[in-house]
Structure 1
Amino acid sequence: MVSEPRPLPATGPRRRTVDNDGVELAVFSEGDPSSPTILLVHGFPDTHRLWDGLAERLVGDYHVVRYDVRGAGASTAPRKTAAYRTELLAEDLFAVADAVSPNRPVHVVAHDWGSIQAWAAVTAPRARARIASFTSVSGPNLDHVGQWVRRRVTRPTPANLRQVVAQLTHSWYIALFHIPVLPGLAWRTVVGPRWGHLLRRMEGVEATPAPTIGTDAANGVRLYRANMLSRRSRPAPSPAEVPVQVVLPTRDRFVTAALAEDLERWIPRLWRRRLVAGHWVPLSHPEALARVVEDFVEHVSGAPMTRSLQRARAGRDEGFTNRLVVVTGAGKGIGRATALAFAARGAEVVVADIDIEAARRTAAEIGPAAYPYPVDVSDADAVRAFAEDITDQHGAPDIVVNNAGIGMAGPFLATTAQDWRRVTDVNLLGVVNGCREFGALMAEAGEGGHIVNISSAAAYTPSRSLSAYAASKAAVLALSDCVRAEFADHGIGVTAICPGVVATDITNTTTFTGTDDLGQQRKRQQATKAYARRGFTPDRVAEEIARAVERGTPVVAVTPEAKLARAGARFFPGLMRRVARVLG
């Protein structure tokens, strides 16, 4: 027996009703019906309004269809718990798909319990003809979960048991939902009216729950009672022949990423996509989710895989393969060595330098996986245009190495205001520009990443002859610490690299203040010879950079003298200051 459908104001998207065996489903569609159809299925305790932000971003290119699942919003609500079994919910999905796209399969995108019920449809025999692709967000297949638990309990290694305990901890509320009467009463009287506030506290998202939230959630509790125990105790996993993309929010409070580990056993065409977000991704990150959906739908429709999709393909996420790395100052020295090191590990590299010919030479050493670009990092507008161009042509980068810099030495009193502006513009503001422009793009992409800023051992080693250079590099070190704290919210790591004496070309271009042209040339030659005798090569710094990105190390002192000076600055600062009066 079903109740009467609840009315909703007929505003916004086109609305229709689809009947499935006596259950009337409120269906909302936008966009050109002749375009590919994306069918959005919401979860608990939401309605079709969960997808407002995503639909707004997809409707220009797709026929976007949403519906209130049975028991929610304007759809009818069966009163018997058995009417909420996933196989019946799957038939609802097929009924909507048949109604809105009778001649062409639909691309299904589902969240939470919408995803759980969509799995039942995707693994059904009808799926091959009616579903073109499936993007699952924070909602596992219950049969797969049951098998996942069995495999780990019967093979009780510490890692397996930790995974099971972690998921049980995340799923604490399921047991509560099996208590008679109380969960529904709590949703109607206490939780439902405060759901918007709870979402802000839990997820940091602003959302206005549907007026029917209390009743919807009370009905939705039947989803857990009708399916959870039976599916987990008697799992019967089925394969999915359609392409499946599993979106794994890295900060999901309810579904752990480990649940997706065994899916290759049942899904031949599988992609795992990570987004730096909480459980309610459609509300908090609609822009990033729209990009993920479009990437997948376009590929399934015949377009080449994007770099993110290539990386997400099950079994192919290794090292830096399919990563895009941007390196500034990559024409020579540490920048060139860093570009070569990442390329050797499988990355594609944007080789940027103010000297485009030097950038092209580095790119030529790497081959087709390198892209030379000219850029003056001290020019904020130029860096912005550079970042936008890179993103348009190649997508948001995964790793950015802000390496470009210049040398400057000499007495403080002989260092002019123009000298200070030049060293600050390149060494500090060049890093600021790179962090700001690329950091914003990486945050918007929502897939995390890493930024490396090249500082120096001079940042914490006082010297009477390096006031301008040391100050600029100390600022880079402090900037990295500050940006790291902020970017952590976006899953973006930040590393400061502090080399000591490295044999690079920087000594040939260093400005020595307080001397004439002849003295300048002589000092450059002396410095170059001294650095060459030291024998620490740029490729060794590059190896440390790659290792720091792999490990997420915040600060790396590279050379032995850099490590010794860092220890001295921490434990013997007075001694370091006295030495600075002598050495220079």
Structure 2
Amino acid sequence: MNGGNRNRWGGGRAPRPTTARQQGGLLEGARERRVATGGIELCVAELGDAQQPTVMLVHGYPDSKEVWSKVAGLLADRFHVVLYDVRGHGRSTAPVPLRGGFTLEKLTDDFLAVADAVSPDAPVHLVGHDWGSVQAWEFATVRRTEGRIASFTSISGPSLDHFGHWIKRRMTRPTPRRAAHLLGQSAKSWYVYALHTPLLPELAWRGPLGKRWPRLLEVTEKVPGDGYPTASLPQDAAHGAWLYRDNVRPRMRRPRTDAYAHVPVQLITPTGDAFLSEHLYDDLDRWAPQLTRRTLPAKHWVPRTRPDQLAAWISGFVNRNESPVPTAQPSPTGPYADRFAGRLVLVTGAGSGIGRATAFSFAEAGARVVAVDRDADGAARTAELARLAGAPEAWAEEVDVADEEAMEKLAAKVATAYGTVDVLVNNAGIGVAGAFLDTTTQEWKRTLDVNLWGVLHGCRLFGRQMAERGQGGHIVNLASAAAYQPSRALPAYCTSKAAVLMLSECLRAELAGQDIGVTAVCPGFVNTDIARTARFAGMDERELRRFRNRTSRLYGLRNYPPEKVAEAVLRAVVTNRAVVPVTPEARGIRLLSRLAPRALRGIARIQPPS
């Protein structure tokens, strides 16, 4: 939608523009104006080029517009970004009396007044968080706003009408599952009941709760103490209690039956939200026919804790709905498109086998992919096919992961050219077999350089970038069932993979506090090229060819496809599992290593057939 009709749009009172000025604090450099509507004045801030598509960010409770400062700064280079303090919050004035002054109908008047002021001739792209999303659902579903909204991104705030119908369906047609969902959300909604009590919320916010709220956010939500929330918090929270009192009970009792979205909707659901259950949105396709779902491993205040990802998803959604010509880029089709679309994934050893299959799986889920391999042609082919599979962007990089200097250059290039990696898959590895006494120092060194040091380089360089960004991430290290199965024939390989497994466990403990997950994936016998390229210590060329051919035939007969390992990798990231044995034999050996380690030691003594 490009807003081709440039006629003036109706709705709300005419705005009263004021002289734009520089605003300090979190929105440094914003242009400010005042908009009159319904007997109050709204404080509106604008960033970016007013000739670009307008993205309007609506804040929630108990916030002010400054909650969006990080996201707004990231969007301002490409869009006309508009933020306003909801009535009674921040620098906007409050209605008198407060009771009845915060109804969804009056909030809709406010939205239309701001839209008329900042984008009189074209629809706006609406983004709402928390109560900003609750009221934006009203804007996106009532008739009088049709044509004024080009798209709507909803974050952590359901439609009260949809919520009312959700409750009624679960009460009138109960099942054990529905009852559990209802009870779970009832527990999460404790604060709604508290906000309906007279005077107590106001006293709490103007007293001890208002003083302690910044620290509570920092501890419970990991919101950085960077000047947010603003000094108006106690007043904002006290006034904002009327958002609940004026709207929740009426809509729960009599939810609208025509609350269908008349615009494309992008739903972003934080999976760790302490206030809203993911199941609230189970029936949303019924109400939003043009629905795109996204999930984010984070808590409630994602505008402060995950601004990069929100800005990327908002930008992509706005561009998709702003362009008059449908994009030729295929839509993500993978089972985890809601989680990985638009995210940056780097895979080492991506030129073939498990690495290539993993790159394809992330591409099918809509991720941007960096395919890394020491085989430049193989990496380039993977990147080319990843784009065809659904990756909006894919790049190839030629690097030997054992080369520390080359990896440092790669990390710097990726950060500068593509951004901070969201998911790192350390897959590159080599195989080496042969008795310990037959394995040379050079063979040991090369095995550890690639299998262990290659993983260490990736974790250190890209893990540090994730940590410095402060917005989470995930590291996947490809270990092996050999990590916990000793073998007289594979001492170097088993040692390197056992080290990767322990490294992953240590990193998981260290990085958990920064929302960076670490997973060790342990395949068993997978049909890849590793057997054909493995080295066999203590053999001449003739014996080496014979053993490679024999081992390759065995792997081929087993025929466990690398695509299943790739599926396990994506699933492990989504579920944030610590150790993932993949093949049946890997799972069986893992179980034996815990329950009967002596049996595994006995198996290790068996001489493999020559």
TM-score, scaled relative to structure 1: 0.83
Is 1:67 aligned to 2:84, yes or no?
yes
> Does residue 546 in structure 1 map to residue 567 in structure 2?
yes
State yes or no: 1:211 paired with 2:231: yes
Q: Partners in 1 of 2:387 and 2:35 — Cα distance?
A: 56
Answer whether contact 2:57 2:126 (CA < 8 A) is retained: yes
1:32-431 → structure 2 map (5 Å cutoff): 32-78=49-95, 79-207=97-225, 208-237=228-257, 238-302=259-323, 310=332, 328-329=348-349, 353-357=373-377, 368-369=388-389, 373=396, 374-380=398-404, 382=406, 402-412=426-436, 415-431=439-455
Q: How big is the shift at 1:455?
A: 2.4
d(CA) in 2 for partners of 1:27, 1:347:
35
Q: 1 CA distance for matches of 2:553 and 2:260?
A: 62
Deviation at 1:268, TM superposition (A): 2.2
Counterparts of 2:373 and 2:422, CA distance in 1: 19
Q: Deviations over 1:182-226 (max 9, x none)?
A: 121111112112111111122111243322222221111111111
The equivalent of 1:496 in structure 2 is: 521
C-alpha separation between the residues in 1 aligned to 2:108 and 2:71? 22
Name which of structure 1's ranges 81-90 and 55-64 shifts more when overlaid on structure 2: 55-64
Q: Which amino acid aligns with 1:125?
A: R
The 3 A distance-change label for structure 1 pair 288 and 531 is: closer
CA offset digits 1:376-421 (Å, max 9, x no partner)? 3323555566678889999998876544322223454554443333
Select 1:506's aligned residue among 530, 534, 540. Answer: 530
Match of 1:460 among 484, 494, 498: 484
Q: Displacement of 1:281 after TM fit?
A: 1.1
Mapped partners of 2:55, 2:380: distance in 1: 43
In the TM superposition, what whole-angstrom CA distance separates every residue of 1:58-87 from its partner, at most 9, and x where no partner exists? 222222222211111221112231111111
Tell me whether 1:477 sits opposite 2:463 in the alignment: no
Residue-by-residue CA offset, 1:300-353 (whole Å, 9 max, x unaligned): 1117669897469xx995999999986644555555677788899999987654
Whether the 8 Å contact between 2:481 and 2:581 is mirrored in structure 1 is: no
Q: How many residues align?
A: 570
Assess if the C-alpha contact under 8 Å between 2:485 and 2:593 holds in 1.
yes
- Evaluate the alpha carbon distance shift between residue 154 and residue 469 of structure 1 in structure 2; reply closer, same or farther with a 3 A threshold: same
Q: In 2, Cα distance between the equivalents of 1:310 and 1:27?
A: 36
Alignment root-mean-square deviation, CA = 4.1
Letter in 2 for 1:255: L
Whether the aligned pair in 2 keeps the contact of 1:127 and 1:242 (CA below 8 Å) is: no
AA of the residue aligned to 1:67:
Y
Q: Kindly tell me: are residues 504 and 270 of structure 1, through their superposed partners in 2, closer, same or farther at Cα, counting changes over 3 Å?
A: closer
Contact 2:332 2:366 in 1 (8 A): no
Spell out, residue by residue over 1:441-496, the C-alpha distance to the aligned partner (whole angstroms, 9 max, x if none): 88999999876543233322334453322211111222333344566664756242
Report which stretch shifted further, 231-240 or 258-267.
258-267
CA contact (8 A) 1:54 1:290 kept: yes
Contiguous gaps of at least 5 residues in structure 2: 1-20
Say whether the 8 Å CA contact 1:251–1:278 is kept in structure 2: yes
Please give the alpha-carbon distance, in whole angstroms, between the structure 2 residues aligned to 1:125 and 1:484: 50
Give the equivalent residue in structure 2 for 1:4: none
Q: Could you tell me how far 1:35 is from its partner in structure 2?
A: 2.2
Q: Following TM superposition, by how much is the alpha carbon of 1:262 offset from its aligned partner in structure 2, in angstroms?
A: 1.9
- Name the CA distance, whole Å, in 1 between partners of 2:338 and 2:76: 35
Q: For 1:251, give the aligned amino acid.
A: G
SS in 2 for 1:84: coil
Q: Distance in 1 between matches of 2:211 and 2:363?
A: 54
User: 1:493 & 1:410 partners in 2: Cα distance?
Assistant: 31
Deviation, 1:179, is 1.3
Q: Are the aligned partners of 1:400 and 1:451 in contact in 2 as well (CA < 8 Å)?
A: yes
The alpha carbon displacement at 1:19 in A equals 0.8
Could you tell me which amino acid in structure 1 is paired with residue 37 of structure 2?
Answer: N
Q: Is the 8 A contact 1:47 1:69 kept in 2?
A: yes
Following TM superposition, by how much is the alpha carbon of 1:39 offset from its aligned partner in structure 2, in angstroms?
Answer: 1.7
C-alpha contact 1:307 1:323 (8 A) present in aligned 2:
no
Match of 1:30 in 2: 47
Residues 22 and 32, structure 2, Cα contact 8 Å, conserved in 1: no
Q: Which stretch of the first structure deviates more once superposed, 486-495 or 11-20?
A: 486-495
- Alpha-carbon shift at residue 243 of structure 1 (Å): 1.8
- Which residue of 2 is the match for residue 5 of structure 1? none
State whether residues 14 and 29 of structure 1, in contact with CA within 8 Å, keep that contact through their aligned partners in structure 2: yes
Q: Deviations over 1:244-287 (max 9, x none)?
A: 22221111111222222222222222222212221111111222
Cα pair distance change 1:264/1:467, threshold 3 Å: closer
Q: Secondary structure at the match of 2:151?
A: strand
Deviation at 1:24, TM superposition (A): 1.2
Contact 1:334 1:538 in 2 (8 A): no
Structure 1: any 5+ residue segments left out of the alignment?
1-7
Residues in 2 aligned to 1:360 and 1:62: alpha-carbon distance in whole angstroms: 33
Identity across the alignment (%):
45
Cα 1:29/1:478, change in 2 over 3 Å: same
TM normalised by structure 2 equals 0.80
